[in-house]
Structure 1
């Protein structure tokens, strides 16, 4: 009769079953930390193959385990579970393994702790190979899924069923759940799974048949899961008294099988891809596989290389030597006689590097190749597989990025600027090389955070910096600012921060990217400039090319009544009266085209406009300022109100004196003109009368006396005409100019003149054109204006050229001061002004042999114009014509 085994022995027996079958590194230890069972993966991970492990102490196998780990093991033996995702494990030989673990107690039937189960994984390669991170994480995830193994026992004699904690988790029942035989079977999904479970259980109970099934269950929460159920029976005297085994959640494995099928399809598609070259070799280095991508990239057909060529056909010899040397050194071998085909048997190889591939036609291109060893079931190398891609375009981009990065580094040094990135979620900060230089911080400092930067902020600026940063995050818009820092060596610098804020789809701030520029020198220069600006005696206003105010000093604030912030970036025309703004805008544009220091509006009166609307007379000096932001203009403005008042008084006094002097001058000139006229225009006729009178007295012939008497009549007529003209001129000079003034249209005067001279116009064929659009009317004495038009038009007709049609053109205009101007232009005989210009407007002065020429018209015209405060001048060329210009007051 077989003696029943103890519960402890039984527990150990079924635990050994799943431990040995586990694909991950799992060890089972008793309460004395001695090994009961280990998986093959455990032996492999910790390089214990071939050693006797069972029965030996865990601390004997791993003497490097410290007291802290031993303390954790004690806690686990008291019921705790100890997990760690990753930690370094320094081995006795000095090497470091990165491992994860799950250490928990295992229980025997009576619920007491029988020892520990250690589930670990070597993730050293994860830490060493970032490129394989994703793949390794997937493997770890699969390993964790496989580790979801629980134990169960059905004590037939007591009709009791025991489920371990993991089985309860798989079935989604509470920890205090107590299953019974019928309920256990009902968890299997109705149909095929339940039938298999029932049959397998009956066969195990009646025949002692073990089972290993993959079945589908429906959990207590209604979720469907796939499980692997393994069971064995225990008999005593031919009768089954106990069933026990393991239960594993394989739902993810099932899904993985589907994923594996998809992956296989994807790998097949990749192998057939024309963009990726996949080449494999046997253990002797002969090419075994050569996909279509390899054909496309290298120009060889598969049948040209498979079985006959080695990869050296498309590789550079020097690169092969370098590869061999690197691989030999990585495995501690001598490169001189190293052969990676034969010397890497049983070793892992996964190498990624750039190669220069040689096409069949001899051309070359850069390729990125990942070379991996192909293992057989015994773990021996059967060859290698290389996956390669043409990275010509990538290299171009890399080179361009490298060049731009070098340019950026140079630009940052020149501008004393660095760039930074701040991940606001992880608080990880990255600085450019030049930013380290600005803060005088060693680049070897690995961890940078916001606090790293903030620790350099000048204590007096920390509150402002915090406020601005917080406000920027709140507004999701970075507010550029300037503050001081104290560098690692204690220097105080001023920096300017500019940045962009990046948000996620939910609008949350996740990152800031920006620049930091050392503006210490600029701020010092700015302070000096501000000091000079404030020390200036005049108001200073600095404007950019668009006419926007950039800076003013205190004197300008005082002069115009504005504060600096009220004028910053406002148009400078805000300080100029509206009537001058249009012209000022044009003048400003011209200044920026040819900038130079000068007085603004020289010779003209300038006015400024205060905030309260009051105008003030000013004097302005302009100077160009060349800055990094472009050309600016500095305007020094001085209030000359007092000077203007003093000047006005002087002017008024001067004007009074001038009026008196002008009256005296005018009276003297009248006297001189009268004397001149009397001496020249009256002396000749009087002398002539005296001579005729003598002849008349001496004459005896009555006929001669009659003839002399007729001559008396002619001379007396001329004398009378001269006296009348003289009297008219004197009358004009003495008339009150303010009397009889009226607003007269030039067109009306011309029309009347044409009517008076209609006969002469028709006989001469004269053509008269006029344009009074610029100044259509004037306030004047009508009789004078009619006389002026009559004399000037009449003279133009009288002294016309008989070689061409007489043309007379009359135009009006306005000067800049708003004064009327009138021009009379003809194409007549013209006047030799070099000979006669000085006597052009004299009395009785004629310049052509014309029977009606008396030399009175121009004299009267000038007298009338002058009496009204105007001026007449003439330009003329002989036989081309004459232009008279009248400037009215």
Structure 2
């Protein structure tokens, strides 16, 4: 190895070199390095002298020995780029160069190696490659391609993804003319042509144009086109843009829209109210039936509103509590009978169901409500129940009537049979005459019984009776005139406190009988220690005209006789004229007119009857 002495001045100059520099001899040993080299590769205490370059940098390419050997021969060649680590273990990229090292006699004694830090450039290039790769991968995933148009060279460039969308081969070279040709004739081609014109003439960008193309293979595709002009020093130099395949998305949207229309058509034509509420119980979907129930034409008038805005507060509170219970417990309410009261006070009966809507975590984010209007069914049910009640009452009356007829006719028949036996066996003519008189009286009693039974049958079989508006005050006066002799003989007083303009709806003949029966009963059952006073008054209340007939007679023990009061042939006092048929017939007449009777009485003080005439029916 040849030792090449360095003077102090030479060594000082080498140390001050601005680039990392090393002098090696022909055995590749490092003879001297610049301070810049030392600061990168060694500590101050470390000495690189007499150490082989390839031992210090074991990853250097072996081919570089050949390059350095040529350099030793005076033929310097580029060494290339190498990655290494500095004293802080940081990776750095350097470009290595070499030049022959001459001594003072112009003999080559080694090589001068200089390094140029290109780490930033390499990192930038790596980063750029990564971004290009990511961009390419993103383009493949999102099917978003890029294109550029150089206005000066009239050159259009498509990326790989854009070519794939158009279904053209990789070597295809597009131009403005054939690029426009791919757009479907009509709206799509016109729209992109106008966008290009506006961009070049007015510098206007376009974005998210949803258009259709016809690919090279003849397939129709939906694409999203965007673009903008590019300027250099205020001069238009080209256009750039993106090109996205959205065919599957559009097809899915169209299918979803069709399904939505189908679902909307279905729920709008269901004969039930359907709605969806969010967690705040605000309606976010309603069908036509729900709109009609709430009296609106446009669903927008309901959407976003809670029950507190659509129903009275009390009803809204109950509904909200039920909503929260369904969403918290996740237990649906099925077929619950409820009454909805609208703000105008109208009541509607519903069979309601509420079903929680669950997300993928099993948490309720709202509920579906379904309500079936059963108001008419309830009315029919009520009518049917009334019919059943009436039928039941009629059956009881019929059974009771059959027992009465059987009992009474049997009694009369037995009486006739006994008297006839007496008549046949009686030898005394005077006694025969007396028996014949008894038979005549029994016959009259039978006729009275038959007449009474006929009256009862007539009342219960005439269902289509016609009621009229009758002045009750005047009718009481008329009945009193008919009873004037009877009232005078019993020293009875009638107090007519009924307003002069008071009208009731009644069958005229029934009203005559009702007034006559109650007035004569009051006189018949008078207290022997005082003059009979019968007071009549009337009021209107709850669709009824209520006639009150109060007397000061004997009174009735209602605890003992209350349930039998209106029974046939039921009497409650030892009175020779009592037959027990008047109240029975009167009660049947009142029932036939959809009215009712109430009675209060105290023994020894008197009785008060309230007759309710139905003003509605």
- TM-score higher than 0.5 here? no
Instruction: Point out which structure has higher relative CO (alpha carbons under 8 A, 6+ apart).
Output: 2
**TM-score of the superposed pair, with normalisation by structure 1:** 0.29
